[in-house]
Amino acid sequence: MLSPITIVIPICNRAHIVGRTLDSVAAQTVAPARIVIVDNNSTDTSLSVVRDWASGRSNVTVLSESTSGACAARNRGLQAVTSEWTMFFDSDDIMAPRHVEDFTRAIYGHPDADVIGRDIYLHSLDGSRRRLYFHGDGDPMFHHLFRASLSSQRYIARTNLFREAGGWNESLTGWNDYELGVRILLRSPRILTLGGEPTVSAIQQEQSITGLSFSAHPERWERSLQAIHDTFRSLPPATASRAQYMRWLDARAMILAARYESEALTASRRSDRESARRAHALSLNLRHSVISRTDAPRRMKMIYLHNLRLHRFTWLLARVLL
- Give per-residue pLDDT as tens, 22-67: 999 999 999 999 999 999 999 999 999 999 999 999 999 999 999 9
Q: What is the pLDDT of residue 138?
A: 86
pLDDT tens figures, 257-288: 999 999 999 999 999 999 999 999 999 999 99
Task: Compute the mean pLDDT over every residue in the chain, rounded to the nearest whole number.
Answer: 95
- Residues 6 or more apart from 130 whose CB is under 8 A from it? 121, 122, 124
Are the beta carbons of 146 and 133 closer than 8 angstroms? no
pLDDT at 204: 85
In sequence order, what are the residues at sequence separation of 6 or more whose Cβ sits closer than 8 angstroms to the Cβ of residue 100? 3, 5, 7, 28, 29, 30, 31, 32, 87
Q: Residue 207: what pLDDT? A: 56
What is the dihedral angle through the alpha carbons of 260, 203, 86, 38, rounded to the nearest 10 degrees? 90
pLDDT confidence tier of residue 187, bands split at 50, 70 and 90:
very high
Q: H-type helices in the chain, by residue range?
A: 18-26, 46-54, 70-80, 99-109, 140-147, 159-164, 176-185, 218-233, 242-269, 273-293, 297-310, 314-321
Whole-Å CA distances, 45 to 1, 21, 52, 150: 35, 16, 11, 31
**Residue 253 near residue 178 (C-beta atoms within 8 A):** no
Q: How far apart are CA 155 and CA 86, in angstroms?
A: 9
Name 85's bridge partners.
Answer: 5, 158
Show Cβ contacts of residue 99 under 8 Å, excluding neighbours closer than 6 positions: 28, 199, 200
pLDDT for position 238: 86
Report which DSSP code applies to 154. Answer: G
**C-alpha span between 200 and 197 (Å, rounded):** 9
Please give the average per-residue pLDDT across 211-230, as a whole number: 92
pLDDT at position 209 over 50: no
Which residue pairs, CB below 8 angstroms and at least 24 apart, start in 128-137?
A: 131/198, 132/202, 134/193, 134/194, 135/193, 136/191, 136/192, 136/193, 137/191, 137/193
Q: What percent of the chain has pLDDT over 70?
A: 98
pLDDT of residue 127: 85
Starting at the earlier edge strand, list the strands of the sheet with 115-117.
60-64, 34-39, 5-11, 85-88, 155-158, 115-117, 191-193
Q: Is pLDDT above 90 for 125?
A: no
Task: Compute and round to an integer the Cα radius of gyration of the chain.
Answer: 20
> Within a 10 A sphere around the Cβ of 84, how many other Cβ atoms?
13
pTM over 0.85: yes
